[in-house]
A = this chain, B = another copy of it.
Amino acid sequence: MIGRFQPFHIGHLSAIREILSGFDEAIIAIGSSQFSHTFDNPFTAGERIEMIRLALREDGQDLSRIITVSIPDIGEHRLWVARLTSMCPRFEVAYTNNPFVKLLLEEQGIKTREAELYNREVFNATRIRTLMAEGGNWKKLVPKSVGDYIEEIGGVERVRIAKGSATSTLLR
């Protein structure tokens, strides 16, 4: 399953439950893994791994069936599938709801599938980050353990500041 998990929310959890109901193991590929401290990508790869494991443990999932893998973006999009397959254990099917990722994968002959149980309007990471920046009720959209973790590491403040600077460059 491919995503950025900024942050890991209940929609993601639902998708992983679905995958684990059909397969022995799920590889969670954390895309854009090199980025952090921006509004689009506030959390480091390490923090995202912590969130994923907290959420799955809270949900009673067997963590031995889960493999987290960080995939740094590559500027040359045509090479991304080779990077993905190089960094992951072999897999049968790639789960993604992103049409662009689907296109890249299928052009290289990778079988793709969409997770079904996903309510994308409500459980949407951009919406969650916007709520975080604006003081809204974002915590109900993520597993409890994830919400607590984000608060513990000062994540809300980080998202708020990153939104203010609203830029991909470091310095303005």
Partner-B contacts on A (CB < 8 A):
2-4, 31-38, 40, 44-47, 49-50, 53, 62-64, 67-70, 72-83, 85-90, 98-101, 103-104, 107, 126, 154, 157-158, 161-162, 164-165, 169-172
Q: A33-B87, A171-B3 are in contact. Are A161 and B99 (CB under 8 A)?
A: yes
Which of B82, B83, B89 is in CB contact (< 8 Å) with A49? B89
- The docked-state distance in angstroms from the alpha carbon of A111 to that of B107 is 19
Question: A7 CB to closest chain B CB, in angstroms?
Answer: 14
22 contacts between A and B (CB under 8 A): A2-B171, A3-B171, A32-B170, A35-B75, A36-B76, A36-B78, A36-B86, A37-B78, A44-B78, A44-B87, A46-B86, A49-B89, A50-B89, A50-B90, A53-B67, A63-B64, A74-B79, A77-B170, A79-B83, A100-B161, A100-B164, A103-B158
Q: Are A101 and B69 neighbours in the complex by a CB distance under 8 Å?
A: no
Question: A9 CB to closest chain B CB, in angstroms?
Answer: 14
Number of copies of this kind of chain in the complex: 6
Question: A105 CB to closest chain B CB, in angstroms?
Answer: 11
CB neighbours of A157 from chain B (8 A) = 103
- The docked-state distance in angstroms from the alpha carbon of A81 to that of B81 is 12
Q: Are B35 and A171 neighbours in the complex by a CB distance under 8 Å?
A: no
Question: A35 CB to closest chain B CB, in angstroms?
Answer: 7
CB neighbours of A103 from chain B (8 A) = 37, 157-158, 161
